[in-house]
Each structure stands twice: as structure tokens, then as C-alpha cells.
Amino acid sequence: MNIGIVLYPTYGGSGVVATELGKGLASRGHNVHFISYARPMRLDEFHENISFHEVTFSAYPLFEYPPYDLALASHLVDIITYQNLDLLHVHYAIPHATSAYLANQILKESGNGIPVITTLHGTDITIVGSDPSYTPVVTFSINKSDGVTAVSDYLRDETCKRFDIKNKIEVIPNFIDLVRFRKSEKSHFKKALCPNGEKVLVHVSNFREVKRVSDTVEIFHKVLQSGIAAHLLLIGDGPDRQKVENKCRELKICGKVRFLGKQEKIEDILSIADLFLIPSGSETFGLAALEAMSCSVPVISSNIGGLPELNIHGETGYLCDLGDTEEMGNFAVSILRDDKLQKKLADNARKRAEVFELSKIVDLYEDYYASVMKG
């Protein structure tokens, strides 16, 4: 099949899922056309079945905000027509589902429309999409898609609660490459960072408010207060970075916290981690937690959104009430003090990750594509 995938090109989240899905489909012989305003971060190698189409758009003095959604729709008309696409799969509703609808309407004028599938990822529904300035357009665009998927039961239910949805939403969870994301021998790296055998806690995010990175720092502070020697590695960057640095200064723990910024090979860092922290205020799936679990790292998370569908309390880690850094800290201490417990949770985390193995989920997408194409 010739498949168009519209995505955000950024680190993490929907962009990673869309890119890895496209790579998986290409390795099965499909021709995959990625479409975005920049080359996706995870699209780092040449593959004979993969093309990338950059959406360019002109500035004009009249436009304070150049209309990307219109430029995307125009590019889609061109790509669908000249690359003979059979199907368009857009990731993140805003504005991708809307641009896809517009492009399809233009093509339908000459009888050339194609099926459009929209995958909902999270903030397109729970935060941005629910803003009244977008709600009618998001509702309309979801309802006009030929197929709609969500990355967790929670997101499906939340979408139906928040919007007047007419079509059935299929749940296809996110996935993981178990070969790439596995614990590997990195003792030299661990020695360099923790010369005295200190424990390693890791957090990965885009440092937006919703990720509550300051809670991560508070949990870590509790670990240090318990007398456990440890380091916290913070991976990623974003708007809350300064706030988080200030928190570390306030708690006088700057020497124990390393800000590593955006990293390509997260699996190398996860390989030396003893514990992963994800105390988010909203998380429809929690791909970062799945990456950690696949590298045999137990997870402490908040018990919100799709996280309970992934992290199993007492088995792969622990789930706590939102903002309860006291309890999260207590669980962290109990894991880090007890090597047997840490190992049991770590092994279970890896086993749980196997449920989300890449090829199983690519199968689900292929089956779903076939059912939507049949109509």
C-alpha cells in the first residue's frame, strides 16, 4: 500500500509513535510517505520504502500567524495525487485531521478522495482540543474521519465524554521495539556517573507543566532525605526547565541532579536506571514509561489517565494519587532499599512491556487499515 503519515516531527509523544509505526510498515513492504514541517527526529536512516515530504509555507506581512493548516492541506492534495496514496493516516487531531478533511474534499470534487484515519494521542483531546477555541473543529474533523483510533481505553472514553462523537473509536495502544529498548551492559557509563555505586533515578519528558517535573524533584529529595545515595537524571527540555532548576536550588540538591537535555539514545541511560519517575498531571498512555519498562526499570507514576493500563501497581512499580510526592517518595525508598523487590519489579516491567511489542501493534494497524478501506 502507499500510505501517507502526517505527524509532528518532535522528540517524544505522537511524533515518535507515528515515525516508528511508519518504519514498521515500510519494513513490511508498504511505501510510507511522512509529511510534516520538518524531518521527524526518529527518521534517522535511509529506507528504500520511506519518503519524506516537507510542508513549506510562505510568510506574508499580512499574516501574523502563517496558516500552516492550509499549506498542509495543499501539500496533501499534491502528495495524495502524485504519489498515488491509498490511505492517509494523521497523528494528532489538531490541525492534521482538519487539513486532511479539507484536502479530501478538494480531491473528491474530481472523484479522487482517499480514506483518512485519525489517531488521537492525548493533549489534542485532553488539553488543547478541549479548549473552546478548537472544540467545534476538532469534533467535526474526528467525525469526518473514515477511521479513528486512540492510544488507550482512557483516551477513547475521554474523547467520547468531551466531544459529540458519532463514529466508533478503535483502541490501538502504543508500542515498543523490545530489541532497541532493553537493558544493556553500560557499567562504564554507570561508573562515570555514580563512582560510589549510587542509585540512579530517571525522568524523561518535554518539561511542560502537565509533566510536573517539580514533583519528580520532590520525590527525589525524599529519597536523599532517607539517606540513600542517589542521582537524578532529567532528560528532555521545555518551558518548565528554569522552574525545576529553581526547585533544585531551593532544596539544595543541585549537585545530585543532572539535566541531560534532549537525548537520542535514551535506552543507554535507561540501562543504568534503578527507577523511573512519571508523576504527570495528565497522560493518555505514557510512552516514556513504556520505554523505561522495556529496559527493565520499575516505574512510579501518578494513577491518572492511561497510566494504570500500563503500570500495574505492586507488579511493575507503583501508582499514587496525583501530587502525592510523600507516598511516591516512600515507594521510591522501599524499592531502592530492597534489591530483591527492585529486581522483581524490573523483571515484571520488562514482561509487561512485551505485551506492547511493536510487530503485534503494527499487525493491529494493518488490520484496521484493511477494515477502513473495505468501508
Task: Mention every residue, 6+ apart, whose C-beta is less than 8 A from residue 19.
Answer: 7, 34, 40, 41, 42, 43
Task: Determine if 159 is a binding residue for ligand GMT (CB under 6 A).
Answer: no
Alpha helices in 254-374 (DSSP H): 266-270, 287-294, 307-310, 325-337, 339-354, 358-374
Shortest Cβ 307–ligand GMT spacing (Å): 8
Cell of 183: 537493558
DSSP string, 135-159: HHHHHHHHHHSSEEEESSHHHHHHH
Q: Which of 7, 151, 213, 295 binds ligand GMT (CB under 6 A)?
A: 151
Q: Which of 210, 228, 355, 364 binds ligand GMT (CB under 6 A)?
A: 210
147-150 vs 116-120, strand pairing mode: parallel
Task: Determine if 298 is a binding residue for ligand GMT (CB under 6 A).
Answer: no
Closest CA to 220 of 345, 302, 336: 336
Window of 13-21, 214-222, 242-250, 324-332 that interacts with ligand GMT by CB under 6 A: 13-21
Query: How far, in whole angstroms, is CA 222 from its chain's centroid?
Result: 28
- String marking each residue 115-134 x if it binds ligand GMT according to CB under 6 A: ------xxx--x--------
Shortest Cβ 303–ligand GMT spacing (Å): 14
Closest CA to 74 of 52, 55, 97: 55
CB atoms within 10 A of CB 346: 23
- String marking each residue 266-295 x if it binds ligand GMT according to CB under 6 A: ----------------xxxxxx--------
Task: Determine if 158 is a binding residue for ligand GMT (CB under 6 A).
Answer: no
Shortest Cβ 264–ligand GMT spacing (Å): 17
Q: Which of 5, 6, 7, 17 binds ligand GMT (CB under 6 A)?
A: 17
CA 294, CA 310: separation in Å to the nearest integer? 12
CA 284, CA 139: separation in Å to the nearest integer? 18
Task: Determine if 173 is a binding residue for ligand GMT (CB under 6 A).
Answer: no
- String marking each residue 19-58 x if it binds ligand GMT according to CB under 6 A: ----------------------------------------
Strand-pair partners of 204: 235
Task: Determine if 170 is a binding residue for ligand GMT (CB under 6 A).
Answer: no
Q: Which of 13, 22, 40, 279 binds ligand GMT (CB under 6 A)?
A: 13
- By beta carbon distance, the residue nearest ligand GMT is 13
Q: In the complex, which residues of this chain contact ligand GMT (CB under 6 A)?
A: 12-14, 17, 92, 121-123, 126, 151, 174, 206, 210, 282-287
